[in-house]
Amino acid sequence: MGSLMKCALVTGCAGFIGSHLTRSLLDDGVEVFGVDCFNDNYARADKLRNLRPLGDWDGFEFVPLDLARGELDEIVADCDAIFHLAAEPGVRPSWGRRFDSYLRNNVLATQHLLEAAAAHPVARFVFASSSSIYGQAERFPTSEGAVPRPWSPYGLTKLSAEHLCQLYHINLGLPVVALRYFSVYGPRQRPDMAFNIFCRAALAGEPIEVFGDGHQTRDFTYVGDVVAATRAAGATPGIDGEVYNVGGGSQVSLNETIALIEDITGTELEVVHQAKERGDVRDTGADTTKARSELGFEASTGLEQGLAAEFEWLASRSARVPA
């Protein structure tokens, strides 16, 4: 993949998935312009920690930039491919007063970047969408042909950005590919996400909160598999305008994942159940037939292996923090 792509733009390069993708591209000799505006959805220090090792590569240039209003022409003009991962994430915080941040960072920023990409043609524009666009799907596993019915403002803004990408493809010929990520986890996962919270609770001997009865299921996808699918979407010819599910390959209940974390950590977690939160769907499950057929993508990391990797990462961070 790297031999065909000389330079890539990665937005959200200091984030969870973006930092992994940037590292993968750099490892293969691809020059990377990394963009991040350090929005306040979680601690700036965590994002700087993700970003710091990337400076070891001569081929990496970091541009602190707000995509919704920054000047993009110069960095887009020099790139073969754009991987647009920057976003305002999270279902639960997307209600109420923060909705303007979701509109700005998920819709307006995407439109601004699409305009720049259309003015300076690139070989591929890969947009990181979300399984949240489906809402509570009627059928599992859910294929890309399912009618999107978002259950949260977050899902609505990701679907809106997807539609924008399609508009620029249809009207201007922009070579866009959208990837619908399903419940990504692994080292560097955001601190507001369940596995990060549960693993930290196991380390600290603290209780965890579960919203609902814990029988809700998710298609958990390891970050390394997500990077592989994203790289494939950036390099595979003949897929302009397509949309692909990127999932881990199985539906697992939250209760089952808690039991796995207990086995991995050797700690029994005290679970405090809270009422189900608005926007949280009961189940998700990806039909990845299309990605397997057209991208050659198949998840290779099992949940137990991936959870162990995330726990080891958090444990090593905890060990480095002074008492």
The pLDDT value given to residue 2: 40
Question: For residue 36, is pLDDT > 50?
Answer: yes
Question: For residue 3, is pLDDT > 70?
Answer: no
Question: For residue 172, is pLDDT > 70?
Answer: yes
Question: For residue 184, is pLDDT > 70?
Answer: yes
Residue 44 burial by CB count (10 A; 0-12/13-18/19+): exposed, middle or buried? exposed
What tokens were used for 181?
């990520």
Q: Specify whether the backbone of 65 is left (phi greater than 0), alpha (psi in -120 to 50) or beta.
A: beta
The pLDDT mean for the chain works out to 95
Which of 286, 288, 291 has the alpha carbon at shortest distance from 126?
291
Question: For residue 248, is pLDDT > 70?
Answer: yes
* Annotation says 154 is catalytic: yes
Question: For residue 189, is pLDDT > 70?
Answer: yes
* Tens-digit pLDDT profile for residues 75-101: 999 899 999 999 999 999 999 989 999
Write the DSSP assignment of 81-134 as a string of letters.
EEEE------SGGGSGGGHHHHIIIIIIHHHHHHHHHHHS--SEEEEEEEGGGS
Residue 250's pLDDT band (boundaries 50, 70, 90)? confident
Q: Cα(252)–Cα(162) distance, rounded to whole angstroms?
A: 27
Question: For residue 155, is pLDDT > 60?
Answer: yes
The domain at 7-181+223-248+286-299 falls in which architecture?
A: 3-Layer(aba) Sandwich (3.40)
The pLDDT value given to residue 121: 86
Q: What is the phi/psi pair of residue 273, to 5°? A: -85, 135
Residue 190's pLDDT band (boundaries 50, 70, 90)? very high
| Residue extents of the structural domains in the chain | 7-181+223-248+286-299
Question: Of 42, 102, 134, 154, which one is the catalytic site residue?
Answer: 154
The pLDDT value given to residue 320: 64
